[in-house]
């Protein structure tokens, strides 16, 4: 802005000349013989960067045509109406270098000279004036610095042909914010044929006394002195890149001949002057202090950045102004990261909304108020006692597919700085890149192509509070920000400025954290614990601020908490891969996994403090992962506020313990919990899983107290959070209720098929059928009648425990088959029945069932009171529709008849135990096949008891 005002003064000089020029030329409206020069007192070119020249001079001629009725008489065509002169980038001036004349004094003529004090004169105008009569005259008039009107940075005024002319000077509203001098609606009475406009570099210089103010008409060396302090009005650019360019844009009142006028015409011209030299002689003395607003570890924080530029020669006419700060790069310390909580409730300022930020726009008419993230204040030594104020707004994430959703850097994070001062007519709109390190989250901010004018002090503040944009480092002690200030004079040699701040306490002002703390929270259970009923199942993992990040977990659900997989489809691997490749918004619009594979929802809470940002997702059933037969897939469209960082897909392997049938989450075979996305450390504090598909999760029928167990691992993404190979064990108590209300009346049928005579080896079939809705089976002890012995001579091969664990039992160790049908699965489980070595005198009988899951049910075999007994003591708490056990007969039969089975009715003795604690004794008839009459086929009373 200060630059704008100084430039304005220079432009005013140019403008004054141009303002008087009624732009017209031989059939072409315009100006000719345009020149712009910066000179020293001896007339040589002033080219030292940052110096204050003796004066600046602009000359031009107005295009003319011959009078149609007066040969040899030149007149202008298309009299000038409006003129804008844009001074070179970096050209600066001080509008307070000379006292300013009051408007009323300027409009008061005393002997053809305004009543302005001589000290307010800042230059001269020599103008050649003509008219339709062909009479040509020349005059030299003083140029005064006037008090500017509201919305104008500076104003110059002078008289031509006794007519007042003023030029308004304000900075352009687009980069590089050149000063623009504007002349509007000029008088058509005076026709300017040419002009020479001069602005003094130091208006108080005694060498201008002879031309100052009133003395311009009657030059006298010492009659018009000034006691105003010596201050430079003009400062040359502080960069040596290329020539200086001044542009002229004029609009006429008419075009063509004044005697046959046409519509208004426009004229545009760019004039170049030699570029600056000796940039190596410019210094840069600046300091930039950057620090979070919170001194607590791993806490939400704003940011304070204070830039101080000192230059003793900025107001010294014989000195040179230091280099401008053309770019700033700020590298925050590792551990200072973006805060995910920042996204909630945040809006963004699009390019169109930024463009709608004008000098007169009200708050919210351009950038939305919800996109404001901070404030900025700035001062400049060439605008004394003026504080410029503005705001910082978050830019939208770049999205080429969404019009208006873009930023200049094609990046995830960017911000807009808007500084406006309606009084000065100043509007600066600047965008900056925020670049997070994709591996650590370390933040680098880059503001490039800053306005080229001298700075004094800049104070930037990012908002504080629970949803502040930053998170402080997780460890106490010193942390250093490294900044680079790039001087306009030599951008290849940045000034490196470190600044150090201290983290002095832990979260909430507590003790500083030490080591690698990790104390996660865990809870799990069904929403309704009524035994044997379906209920949603909830699981939650939490983490404290400053603890290690959650990386993975194993979980073992309570016995009997099972899922009904029947009728549920599985999300294909191809759909899972597609979800990983999609944006979050695309996944929200069209989920990748089939709707019938959805079993619940998942929520992730990220950030620090109490105000986390929660992002919802869906939980799907999927197929095998590694050796696990099933998996669940959490698909979370990572859309938080205005940001979309893709779709997070975490696949957890599911196993069913073959002995207990408990469901287990196998973290080692699963995807890790993500730490960082697109360079934003998630700081995941809260993970919630709700398996809420109706009729999916089933409570046990045992009301014994149990628990959900979890092993939780911690780790980190930076040097402040070290991985821990030892998990933390957590348990969440669980207990079903109302087990006593469950009935227990199952049926058991035993059949022998084959030889019925003594010494024969019949095949045995046992069929177990419970009543729907009853408690699940817990134990079975079955003693066959004394008519059936165990023939140990037929025990050929026994599978060892090592072989069984390796799934390598010999075929000869198979003695039967078993099939279990359950309402939880679409297909029954089936498999061989082995004899496996045990600690008992006789081998165990093991039902090795396979299907979508594997289940292992073992029974101890012994002899009681002359009969064979098989005892299943740990049946899983799982509902079954039917279980059929078929043992081989004949040469492979283990059962041998001790008597003729047809001679009498033979009953087994069975004790059934329910998971609810109830028991039932049965004496089912062991029904042989092939008997007639007593004990034979079809005889009543042989099924259940």
Nearest to 733 by CA among 538, 520, 554, 525: 525
Looking at residue 907, what is its pLDDT?
94
Q: How confident is the model at residue 52 (pLDDT cuts 50, 70, 90)?
A: very high
**Chain length of the chain:** 945
Q: Is the peptide bond before 176 cis (omega within 30 degrees of 0)?
A: yes
- pLDDT beyond 60 at 206: yes
* The predicted structure's pLDDT at residue 933: 61
pLDDT tens per residue across span 171-189: 999 999 999 999 888 877 7
Token digits for 502?
């201290």
Arithmetic mean of pLDDT, 606-628: 94
Three-class DSSP category at 582: coil
**Which residue in 1, 8, 94, 9 sits closest to 314, CA to CA?**
94
| C-alpha span between 885 and 883 (Å, rounded) | 7
Residue 19 pLDDT class (50, 70, 90 cuts): very low
Q: Is 608 helix (H, G, I), strand (E, B) or coil?
A: coil
Kindly state the average pLDDT of the residues 911-921. Answer: 97
Residues 298/607, Cβ–Cβ less than 8 Å: no
Among 3-12, 451-460, 518-527, 600-609, where is mean pLDDT lowest?
A: 3-12
- pLDDT tier for residue 221 given thresholds of 50, 70 and 90: low
Residues 6+ apart with CB under 8 A from 767: 748, 749, 750, 751, 882, 883, 884, 885
CB 516 within 8 A of CB 713: no
Distance CA 134, CA 113 (A): 26
**Token pair of 96 as six digits:** 């307070």
Contact 659, 877 (CB under 8 A): no
* Mean pLDDT rounded to a whole number for the chain: 90
335, 481 Cβ separation under 8 angstroms: no
C-alpha 141/C-alpha 404 separation (Å) is 52
Instruction: Name the 3-class secondary structure at 13.
Output: helix
Structure tokens, 641: 């506020």
Please provide the DSSP assignment of 461-501 as one string.
EE--STT-SEE--SS-EEEEEEEEEEESS-TTSPEEEEEEE
pLDDT at 945: 45
Beta carbons of 204 and 231 less than 8 angstroms apart: yes
**Closest to 781 (Cα-Cα) out of 658, 898, 867, 879:** 867
Block residue for tokens 């008409």: 217
Going by DSSP bridges, is the β-strand pair 643-656/663-666 parallel, antiparallel, or unpaired? antiparallel
The DSSP bridge pattern shows strands 747-753 and 926-928 to be parallel
- pLDDT of amino acid 185: 86
pLDDT for the residue numbered 720: 42
Are residues 859 and 845 in contact, defined by beta-carbon separation less than 8 angstroms? yes
406 contact partners, CB below 8 Å, separation of at least 6: 350, 351, 396, 398, 399, 400
Q: For residue 20, with 0-12 CB atoms within 10 Å meaning exposed, 13-18 middle and 19 or more buried, which class applies?
A: buried
Alpha helices in 328-472, H assignment, sequence order: 351-355
pLDDT score at 722: 43
DSSP state letter for 366: S
Read off the pLDDT band of 939 (50, 70, 90): very low
pLDDT class of 719 with cuts at 50, 70, 90: very low
* pLDDT per position as a tens digit, 632-670: 999 999 999 999 999 999 999 999 999 999 999 998 889
CA 579 and chain centroid, separation: 19
Confidence label for 133 from pLDDT (cuts 50, 70 and 90)? low
pLDDT at 132 over 80: no
Q: How many whole angstroms from its chain centre is CA 894?
A: 69
> 14-18, 490-494, 726-730, 767-771 — which is least confidently predicted?
14-18
pLDDT on residue 128: 87
CA atoms of 559 and 543, how far apart (whole Å)? 27
CA distances from 737 to 231, 413, 914 (A): 90, 52, 15
- Where are any strands of DSSP class E within 697-824? 697-698, 706-715, 728-734, 747-753, 763-769, 777-783, 788-790, 814-821
pLDDT at 21: 34
Distance (Å, whole) CA 764 – CA 869: 14
Percent of the chain with pLDDT over 90: 74
pTM for this structure? 0.85
Residue 806, C-beta contacts closer than 8 angstroms, at least 6 positions apart: none
| d(C-alpha 817, C-alpha 833), whole Å | 5
Region of residue 872 (left: phi > 0; alpha: psi -120 to 50; beta: else): beta
- Give the chain's largest Cα–Cα span: 154
CA 776 to chain centre: 50
DSSP state of 574: H
Q: What's the rounded Cα separation, in Å, for the pair 910 and 923?
A: 6
Using CA atoms of 681, 682, 685, 687 in order, give the dihedral in degrees to the nearest 10.
Answer: -150
Both tokens of 376, joined, read 């900025």
């Amino acid at each position: 802005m200060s630059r704008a005002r100084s430039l304005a003064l220079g432009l005013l000089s140019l403008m004054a000349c141009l303002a008087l020029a009624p732009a017209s030329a031989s059939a072409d409206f315009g100006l000719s013989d345009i020149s712009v020069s910066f000179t020293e007192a001896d007339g040589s070119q002033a080219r030292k960067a940052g110096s204050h020249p003796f004066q600046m001079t602009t000359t031009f001629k107005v295009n003319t045509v011959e009078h149609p009725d007066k040969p040899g008489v030149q007149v202008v065509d298309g009299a000038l109406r409006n003129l804008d002169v844009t001074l070179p980038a970096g050209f600066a001036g001080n509008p307070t270098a000379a006292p300013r004349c009051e408007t009323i004094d300027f409009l008061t003529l005393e002997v053809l000279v305004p009543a302005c004090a001589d000290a307010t004169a800042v230059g001269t105008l020599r103008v050649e004036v003509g008219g339709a009569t062909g009479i040509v005259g020349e005059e030299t008039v003083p140029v005064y610095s006037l008090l500017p009107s509201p919305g104008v940075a500076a104003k110059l005024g002078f008289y031509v042909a006794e007519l007042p002319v003023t030029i308004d000077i304000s900075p352009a509203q687009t980069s590089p914010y050149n000063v623009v001098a504007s002349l509007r609606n000029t008088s058509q009475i005076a026709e300017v044929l040419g002009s020479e406009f001069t602005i003094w570099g130091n208006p108080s210089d005694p060498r201008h006394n002879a031309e100052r103010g009133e003395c311009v008409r009657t030059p006298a060396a010492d009659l018009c002195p000034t006691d105003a302090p010596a201050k430079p009005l003009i400062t040359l650019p502080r960069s040596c890149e290329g020539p200086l360019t001044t542009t002229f844009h004029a609009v006429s009142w008419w075009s063509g001949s004044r005697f046959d006028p046409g519509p208004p015409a426009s004229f545009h011209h760019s004039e170049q002057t030699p570029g600056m030299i000796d940039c190596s002689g410019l210094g840069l003395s600046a300091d930039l202090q950057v620090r979070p607003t919170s001194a607590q570890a791993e806490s939400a924080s704003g940011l304070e950045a204070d830039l101080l530029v000192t230059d003793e020669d900025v107001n010294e006419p014989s000195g040179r102004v230091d280099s401008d700060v053309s770019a700033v790069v700020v590298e925050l310390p590792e551990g200072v990261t973006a805060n995910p909580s920042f996204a909630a409730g945040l809006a963004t300022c699009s390019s169109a909304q930024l463009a709608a930020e004008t000098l007169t726009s009200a708050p919210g008419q351009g950038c939305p108020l919800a996109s404001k993230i901070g404030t900025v204040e700035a001062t400049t030594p060439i605008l004394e006692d003026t504080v410029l104020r503005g705001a910082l707004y978050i830019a939208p994430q770049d999205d080429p597919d969404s019009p208006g959703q873009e930023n200049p850097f094609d990046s995830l994070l960017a911000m807009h700085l808007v500084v406006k001062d309606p009084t000065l007519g100043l509007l600066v709109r600047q965008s900056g890149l925020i670049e997070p390190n994709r591996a650590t989250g370390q933040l680098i901010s880059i503001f490039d192509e800053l306005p080229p004018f001298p700075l004094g002090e800049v104070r930037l503040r990012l908002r504080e509070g629970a949803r502040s944009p930053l998170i402080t480092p997780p460890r106490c002690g010193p942390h250093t920000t490294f900044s680079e200030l790039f001087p306009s004079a030599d951008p290849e040699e940045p000034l490196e400025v470190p600044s150090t701040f201290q983290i002095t306490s832990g979260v909430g002002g507590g003790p500083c954290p030490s080591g690698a703390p990790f104390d996660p929270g865990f809870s799990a259970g069904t929403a309704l614990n009524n035994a044997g009923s379906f209920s949603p199942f909830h699981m939650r993992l939490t983490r404290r601020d400053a603890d290690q990040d959650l990386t993975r977990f194993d979980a073992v659900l309570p016995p009997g908490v099972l899922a009904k997989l029947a009728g549920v489809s599985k999300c294909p691997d191809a759909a899972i891969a597609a979800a990983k490749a999609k944006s979050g918004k695309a996944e929200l619009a069209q989920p990748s996994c089939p709707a019938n594979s959805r079993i619940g929802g998942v929520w992730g809470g990220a950030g620090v403090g109490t105000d986390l940002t929660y992002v919802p997702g869906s939980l799907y059933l999927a197929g095998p992962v590694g050796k696990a037969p099933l998996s669940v897939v959490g698909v979370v469209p990572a859309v938080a506020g205005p940001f979309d960082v893709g779709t997070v897909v975490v696949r957890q392997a599911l196993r069913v313990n073959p002995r207990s049938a408990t469901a287990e989450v196998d973290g080692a075979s699963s995807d890790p919990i993500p730490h960082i996305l697109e360079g934003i450390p998630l700081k995941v504090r809260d993970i919630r899983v709700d398996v809420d598909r109706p009729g999916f999760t089933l409570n046990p029928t045992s009301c014994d107290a149990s628990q959900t167990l979890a092993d939780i691992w911690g780790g980190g993404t930076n040097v402040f959070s070290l991985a821990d190979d030892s998990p933390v064990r957590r348990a969440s108590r669980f207990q079903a209720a109302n087990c006593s209300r469950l009935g227990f009346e199952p049926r058991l049928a035993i059949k022998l098929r084959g030889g019925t005579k003594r010494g024969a080896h019949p095949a045995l079939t046992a069929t177990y059928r419970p009543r729907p809705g009853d408690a699940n089976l817990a134990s079975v002890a079955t003693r066959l009648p004394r008519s059936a012995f165990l023939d140990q001579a037929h025990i050929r091969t026994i599978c060892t425990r090592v072989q069984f664990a390796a799934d390598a039992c010999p075929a000869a160790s198979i003695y039967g088959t078993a099939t279990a049908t359950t309402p939880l699965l679409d297909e029954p489980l089936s498999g061989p029945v082995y004899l496996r070595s045990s600690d008992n005198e006789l081998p165990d009988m093991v039902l090795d069932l396979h299907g979508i899951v594997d289940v292992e049910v073992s029974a101890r075999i012994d002899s009681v009171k002359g009969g064979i007994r098989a005892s299943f003591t740990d049946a899983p708490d799982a509902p079954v529709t039917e279980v059929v056990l078929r043992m081989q007969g004949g040469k492979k039969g283990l059962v041998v008849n001790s008597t003729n089975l047809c001679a009498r009715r033979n009953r087994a003795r069975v004790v059934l135990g329910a998971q609810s604690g109830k028991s039932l004794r049965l004496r089912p008839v062991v029904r042989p096949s092939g008997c007639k009459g007593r004990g034979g086929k079809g005889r009543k009373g042989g099924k259940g008891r």
